[in-house]
Amino acid sequence: MNAPEASRTVRYSEWVDERVTDDQIPDMVYDDRGLIPAIAQDRATGRVLMLAWMDQEALRRTLESGRATYWSRSRQSYWVKGETSGHVQRVHEVRRDCDSDAILVIVDQTGPACHTGQPTCFDVHPPLFPAPTASPKEDHAPVSA
């Protein structure tokens, strides 16, 4: 029986709403617009859902509410993911990278993550690699099961 793990599992499945102040947020490296890229990954499937942007306030709101909250560059406003569509992202874990200039948000995604209705934003277009127009190579060997 792994008690800490059990505790984590229960805790993270709830919405949280604990006050988070700016001084509780580590120094992050924002770009010249004050933004940092945030990768949303689905906890259940491991799929990368989307890439969005946060400023420090969006990050603070995300940490405080447990709801993934981004900065919309097109609308120039905060955007609680799923607020209108219902396709919310319940935050399981937020991590920063080694250089503190990228964020990984592991979420429980409700419904499709992409506004197009696709499960992820990376499902909309065909892959760039391998090239869709490339002629397939010979099979060299059967793949063992």
C-alpha dist (Å) from residue 15 to 10, 68, 108: 11, 11, 11
Buried b (16+ CB within 10 A) or exposed e, 24-46: eeeebebeeeebbebbbbbbeee
- 122 SS3 class: helix
Q: Is residue 116 within the footprint of its own copies (CB under 8 A)? A: yes
Tokens of residue 43, six digits = 């906890």
Instruction: Return d(Cα 122, Cα 112) in angstroms, integer.
Output: 12
Q: Is residue 10 within the footprint of its own copies (CB under 8 A)? A: yes
Q: Is residue 75 within the footprint of its own copies (CB under 8 A)? A: no
User: Whose Cβ is closer to its own copies: residue 3's or residue 77's?
Assistant: 3
Site string (18-57) toward its own copies, x via CB under 8 A: x-x---xxx----------x-x-x----xxx-xx------
Interface ranges with its own copies (CB under 8 A): 3, 5-7, 9-12, 14, 16, 18, 20, 24-26, 37, 39, 41, 46-48, 50-51, 59, 62-63, 66, 91, 93-104, 114-116, 118, 121-122, 124-125, 127-131, 133-134, 136-137, 139-143
